[in-house]
Amino acid sequence: MSIVSRGFHGRREPAAADLPPGQYLTRDFPVLQAGPTPRVDLDTWQFTISNEAGAKYTWSWRELLALPSEKTTTDIHCVTRWSKLGTTWQGVSLDTLFADVETAADHALVHSYGGYTTNLPLEDLLDGKAWIAYRFEGEDLTPDHGGPARLLVPHLYFWKSAKWVTRIDLLNDDEPGFWEQLGYHNYGDPWREQRYTDD
Ligand SMILES: Nc1nc2c(c(=O)[nH]1)N[C@H]1C(S)=C(S)[C@@H](COP(=O)(O)O)O[C@H]1N2
Ligand SMILES: [Mo]
């Protein structure tokens, strides 16, 4: 009998159908990032949406926490081929943050503290598909996983889920982010195995 129960966190046993092509299952939570973990002070933390006309919508940490939050349980898929099933997050839906934002733009470029960027279509941030997440498995999100708050867009490869998120620029013309400039796919759908530019 094993002392460590596989069902310890209440996760279901995975079915092969839960894994996108070329992915393997992991139960750890690897830390992947291009640079050091930035130190982000909650007193000066800001999240801003900037529309294509330059209008800015900004929230302080206190204002973010005052917004209605959601809990979501979802699978995440890293382009380096690990997938983690049934992860539970809490945060604010981008639908809530975009409620009063005036825009006709189609593209978003997400910016993080530390300079990381990633791009995606604005529609992939809306309709219940993305969150600014600040809790993971019932605990405050740790700095190595993007705390105090990260973007969570689980239907795309996990590099789109920018850690230490601070700004989303809405753009009329698409602009590639950090990994997208370095040869990763512009969209990154794990189910279509869109890893690299020409996939
Ligand atoms: N700011 C920032 N966000 C980032 C990254 C990064 O380097 N910097 N790496 C991305 C990549 S490639 C992955 S797989 C996930 C990893 O998140 P984790 O370290 O919490 O597992 O963060 C994504 N978000
Ligand atoms: Mo990644």
Q: How far is the CA of 151 from the centre of ligand 1 (A)?
A: 10
Which domains occur in the chain, in start order?
45-192 (3.90.420.10)
Question: Which atom, in ligand 1's list, is nearest to the CA of 164?
Answer: 1
For atom 7 of ligand 1, which residue has the closest CA? 33
The residue whose CB lies within 8 Å of the most ligand 1 atoms, and thus the one to mutate among 74, 83, 163, 167, is: 163
pLDDT in tens, 39-82: 999 999 999 999 999 999 999 999 999 999 999 999 999 999 99
Question: Which atom, in ligand 1's list, is nearest to the CA of 145?
Answer: 20
Q: Where are the beta strands (DSSP E) in the chain?
A: 24-25, 46-50, 56-60, 70-77, 82-93, 107-112, 117-121, 131-136, 139-140, 150-152, 165-171
Q: How many Cβ atoms are within 10 Å of 141's Cβ, its own excluded?
A: 22
Give the number of the ligand closest to the Cα of residue 32: 1
pLDDT classification of 11: cutoffs 50, 70, 90: low
Least-confidence region, from 16-25, 52-61, 93-102? 16-25
CA distance 178 to 116: 6
Within 6 A (CB) of ligand 1 lie: 29-34, 78, 112, 114, 116, 145-146, 158-159, 161-164
pLDDT in tens, 141-161: 999 999 999 999 999 999 999
Residues contacting residue 157 through CB under 8 Å, at least 6 positions apart: 77, 78, 79, 184, 185, 188, 189, 190, 194, 195
CA distances from 157 to 48, 123, 137, 193 (A): 23, 16, 20, 9
CA distance 42 to 148: 8
Q: How far is the CA of 59 from the centre of ligand 1 (A)?
A: 23
For atom 11 of ligand 1, which residue has the closest CA? 159
**Does residue 6 have a pLDDT over 60?**
no
SS3 call for 5: coil
pTM to 2 decimals? 0.93
